[in-house]
Amino acid sequence: MTLALILVPLVAAALVFAVPANRWRPWLMPVASLGHSILVVFALQGPPVRALGGWLVLDPLGKIFLGFVSVLFFICSIYTARYLNLGHERPNRIFCVCFLLSLSMMTLVILSHHLGLMWVGMEATTLAMAPNIYFYHTPRSLEATWKYLLICSVGIAMALFGLFFLAYATLHTSLEPTLLLDDLVQHAPELSHPWLRAAFVLVLVGFGTKMGLAPMHTWLPDAHGEAPAPVSAMLSGALLPCAFLAILRVFHICNAAGEGAFSREIMVVLGLFSMAIGAIFMTGQRDLKRLLAYSSVEHMGILVFGIGIGGLAVFGALLHVLNNGLTKVALFLSAGNIQSAYGSRSTEDVSGAIRRLPITGTLFLAGFFAITGSPPFGPFLSEFTIVNAALGRDQFLAGALFLLLLAIVFIGMGSTIIPVVQGDPPEAAAQPGFRDGFLTSAPILVSLALVLLLGVYIPPPLESLLREAAAFLEVKR
C-alpha cells in the first residue's frame, strides 16, 4: 500500500514514456494522478501506514501534505493536459515523464521517516522539475534552469551536511548513529545540543533554498517566471511546501530536544525577512509571473513565521500551506491563460483581462484578493490565526511587523494586478485566438472554490487532522 503510493506515479511515468502519440500522452497524467488520489484516500482512512521497517510512515503531518499534494496534482494535471495540447507540436514526452516522476518523489519525501531517504527524494524532485522549467527552450528559460539546478543542488547539498551533523549528534548518546526520525525524536534530549543547533541551521539554509526563503530565494523568480504555467503552479503550490515539510522534520527533533526556542527565533526572523523581500520586489513588478513568484517568497516566509511563533500559529501555518498552495495554483494557471491570450506577461502589454477573458480575468482578480488575505477566503483565516497567536504569545513587535508587511504586499500587488484586470484590452490582443475554455478554467475555479470553502468552513475531519499534526509537532516533554 505504502509502496504503491510511490510506485503508481513511477510506473505511470514509464508508461507515459512508452506512449508514442504526442496528442494523447498528456491525458495519462490526470488518469495516473486520479489513481494516486484514490490510493491516498484509502491510506488516509485505513490502518496506520508503515513500510520498510519504519523508513516510510504516514504520520499526521504527512497525511496533510500527502492529501494536499495529491489533490493539487490532480487539478494541475487536467490543466496541463489541455495546456500541452495547445502547445501543438512541441514534444511533450520528457515533460510528462518528469511531471509524474516529481509526484512520485514528492510522495517519497512526505512518507520518509528516514531523513537520508527524504534527502534523496528531495534532490530527485529538484532534478525531475529541471527539464520542465526548460520546456520552451528559450535563452531565458535556459538561464532560469541553470540557476535553479545549481543553486538548489548546492542548497540541498548543504542540507545533507546538516543531516550528517544531526546523525553526529547521536554519537554522544547510547544510540547507534541514525537518521531515523522516530529514534531521533525519542532520544532527542540526549542528543549533543551544539551539533543539533548547527544541524538545524544548515538544514534551514539548505532546504530553505529549495523552499525559496530569502535571501536564498534568488533562483525562484527566474524559474517561476520562465517555466510553463502549470509547472510554476506545481513548484509554488506543492514543491516548496515539501521543502517546508523537510525543515519541519528537523524542527520536530529540535523541539523534542528542548531547542525549540532557539529554532523558533531564527524562523521568526527569517520568515519576516522573506516577507519583506517579497513585499519589496512585488512593488512595481512588471512581470505577472515574477510577481506571483515573489508572492511565493512572501508566503513561504509566512509559513516559517507561523511555526516560529508556535502554539496556535502552528495550526495556522499548516492551514496556510493548503490555502497558499490552492490560491497559487489558481493564480499561476490564470496567469498562464492570460499569457496565452496576450502573448506576453508584462503589465505593459496586458490590460482589460476581464474583458478579453471574462472567466480567467474574474478568477485572477478573486485570486489576488484571496492571496492578499481578504475575507472570506482561506488565507485570511490562516493569516489571522497566525497573527492572533503572535499577539496572544506577547510577540507584539513580530505581530505588528507581520501585519505591516501584509499591508505593503496588498498595496504593491494590487497596484500591478488591478490595471491588468481592469480597463480595455490593447488592440493587438483583441484578435481571436485563445479563449476561455472548460478545461482551462475549471481547474482554476475548483481550486478557488476550495480556498473559499476553507475560508468559511473547515470540514471537521480536516480540522482534527490539522490539530493532530500541530500537536504532533509540539511534542510535550
Partner 1 sequence: MVPLLDPLLIVALTLNFVALGVSRIRGVINAVALQGVLLGILALFVHPAIGTRVILLVAVTVGLKGFVIPRYLVHALREANIQDEVKPGVGSFMGSLSLGAVGTGLAMVFSDTLPLAEQHKHLLLVPASLATVWTGFLMLTTRKRAIMQVLGYLLLENGIFMFGLLLLEATPFLVEVGILLDLFTGVFVMAIIIHHISREFASTSTEHLTELKG
Residues that bind partner 1 (CB under 8 A): 114, 116-117, 119-120, 123-124, 127, 130-131, 134, 137, 139-140, 142-147, 149-150, 153-154, 157, 160-161, 164, 167-168, 170-172, 176-179, 192, 194-195, 221-222, 225-226, 281, 285, 287, 290
- Residue 385: CB minimum distance to partner 1, A: 33
- For residue 331, the tally of other CB atoms under 10 A from its CB is 32
Between 100 and 130, name the residue whose CB sits nearer to partner 1.
130
User: CB of residue 163 vs partner 1: minimum separation in angstroms?
Assistant: 9
| Cα 208 to Cα 40, 240, 317, 408, distances in angstroms | 27, 9, 16, 24
CB of 138 to partner 1, least distance (A): 9
- Provide the minimum distance between the beta carbon of 281 and partner 1 in the complex, in angstroms, as a whole number: 7
- Least separation in angstroms between CB 393 and partner 1: 32
Q: Please compute, for residue 305, the number of CA atoms within 13 A of its CA located in the half-sphere on the CB side.
A: 35
**Smallest distance from the beta carbon of 239 to partner 1, in angstroms?**
16
Closer to partner 1 by Cβ: residue 150 or 471: 150
Cβ closest to partner 1, residue 59 vs residue 226 = 226
The alpha carbon of 278 is separated from its chain's Cα centroid by a whole number of angstroms, namely 16
- Taking the C-alpha atoms of residue 278 and residue 350, their distance in angstroms, rounded to an integer, is 22
Is residue 282 within 8 Å of residue 291, measured between CB atoms? Answer: yes
Radius of gyration (C-alpha) of the chain in whole angstroms: 21
Specify the residue for cell string 506577461: 345
Q: Which is nearer to partner 1, 132 or 372 (CB)?
A: 132
* Residue 194: half-sphere exposure toward Cβ, Cα within 13 Å: 2
Closest to partner 1 by CB, 226 vs 383, is: 226
Output 97 or 341, the one with its CB closest to partner 1: 97
How many Å apart are CA 382 and CA 392, to the nearest integer?
15
Cα 376 off chain centre by:
22
Which of 208, 225, 343 lies closest to 281 in space, CA to CA?
Answer: 225
**Pairwise CA distance, residues 148 & 133, whole Å:** 9
- Report, in Å, the least distance between residue 268 CB and partner 1: 27
- Report the nearest approach of partner 1 to the CB of residue 165 (Å): 8
Percent of the chain as helix, strand, coil, to the nearest 5: 80, 0, 20
Q: How far is the CB of 419 from partner 1 (least distance, A)?
A: 18
Beta carbon nearer to partner 1, 145 or 351? 145
Task: Select 147 or 328, whichever has its Cβ closest to partner 1.
Answer: 147
Q: Calculate the CA dihedral of residues 255, 395, 386, 405 and round it to 10 degrees.
A: -120
Residue carrying the nine cell digits 475531519: 461
Helix axes 438-456, 312-342, angle to 10 degrees: 160
Closest CB to partner 1 among residues 149, 234: 149
For residue 80, the 8-state DSSP code is: H
